[in-house]
Amino acid sequence: MPHVDQHLSGDWLEADESVRIRLVANDQELPVEAPPRCTLADALRDNGLKGTRLGCEQGSCGACTVLLDGRPVRSCLMLAVQAEGGRLETVEGLAAGGELHALQRAFHDHGALQCGFCTSGFLMLAAGLLREEPDAGRERIREVLSANLCRCTGGGPILQAVLAAQRELRGGRG
């Protein structure tokens, strides 16, 4: 089986030829074998990281949002081969050492989820935003959260939760 890196010196990866793709998610190597057309979302889900949800597969709902090199991406809008060599983070890696992330606790406290299907995507979207823009204002956060859809809560509780998590993450600063 060819490896995705081989293209640098070798041939095309043929359609529906499975290739080894070196993905690193949550600091773990994932042993992905998939054809070039496999989306990153499917590659993650087929390799045990099923917390990444598929709500539309066309980039509209945001349920499949993960972090690539620290920034939120829609994993349905990327090929797995394109993520090779990048550092991926999924909802499974959000809690560090068994302790929930401030966002996870805030989502619980503010009723920011009901059916839970959009939750992984919202958590990763917000995690990426707060990492890149820790001091983002309410309107900016609201604008960014409009990227994803939630059908159960209306989204207001999600905004409240992200603002609360931001306060906690900023600690004494804000």
Partner 1 sequence: MKPPPFAYRRASSLEEALRLAAEAGEDAKFIAGGQSLMPLLALRLSRPSHLVDINRLQELGGVHQENGALRVGALVRHATLERSPDLDGPWQALREAAALIGHYPIRLRGTFGGSLAHADPAAELPVVSTALQATFIARSASGEREIPVSEFFAGPLMTVLEPGELVVEARFPAPSPGTRSVFEEFSPRAGDFAFAAAAVVLAADDGGRVRNAHIALGGVAAIPVRAHEAEAALEGEVLTGSAAQEAARLAAAGCDPSGDAHASGAYRKELVATLVGRALSRLREER
Partner 2 sequence: MTSGYIGVSVERDDLAFLDGTACYVADVDREGQLYARVVRSPVAHARILDIDVAEALAQPGVVAVITAADIPETRIPIRLPMAETPYTHLFLQPPLAREVVRYVGEPVAVVVASDPYLAEDAAELVDVDFDELDVVSDILSATTQGTPLVHAEAGTNIVATVPLGYGDVEAAFARADVVIRDRLRMHRHTAVPMETRGLLAEMDHGTGVLTLWGAAKVKHFTRSALSSMLGIERHRIRLVENHVGGGFGVRGEPYPEDFLVAFLALRLGRPIKWIEDRAEHFVATNHAREQEHDLEIAATADGRLLAFRDRAWCDQGAYVRSQGILPALLPALHLPGPYRWEAFSVETRGVLTNRTPVGTYRGPGMTEATFVRERMLDKLAAELRLDPAELRRRNLIRPGELPFSFEPAPITYESGDFPAGFEHLLDEVGYDDLCKQRQVRRASGEHVGIGFAAYTEIGAIGPFEEARIVPRSDGRFVVHVGVASLGQGVETVLGQIAAEKLGVPMDAVSIDHHDTEKLADGFGAFASRSTTLAGNAVALAAEDLRAKAAARLDVPAGEIRFVQGQVREPSGRTIPLAEVGEGRGRFDKPHPTFSFGAALSLVSIDRETGLVKVLRHAVLHDVGRAVNPELLRRQLAGAASQGIGAALLEELLYDEYGQPQSTIMADYRMPTVEELPDIEVIVEERPNTANPLGVKGGGESGMVGTPAAIANAVADALGVEGARVWRLPLTPDRVREMLRHH
Q: For binding to partner 2 (CB under 8 A), which residues are involved?
A: 16, 35, 37-38, 45, 49-58, 60-61, 63, 90-92, 94-95, 100, 104, 107-108, 111, 113-120, 123, 142-143, 145-159
The sheet with strand 65-68 has its strands ordered as 28-34, 19-25, 87-89, 65-68, 71-74
Considering the rule CB under 8 A, would residue 120 count as an interface residue with partner 1? no
Considering the rule CB under 8 A, would residue 169 count as an interface residue with partner 1? no
Instruction: Determine the 3-state secondary structure of 56 from DSSP.
Output: coil
| Nearest distance from C-beta of residue 98 to partner 1, angstroms | 28
**Which phi and psi angles does 31 have, rounded to 5°?**
-85, 70
- Is the distance from CB of 141 to CB of 156 less than 8 angstroms? no
CA separation (Å) from 44 to 25, 47, 52, 150?
8, 5, 8, 22
| Nearest distance from C-beta of residue 42 to partner 1, angstroms | 8
| Nearest distance from C-beta of residue 174 to partner 1, angstroms | 22
Binding residues among 81-100 for partner 1 as defined by CB under 8 A: 81-82
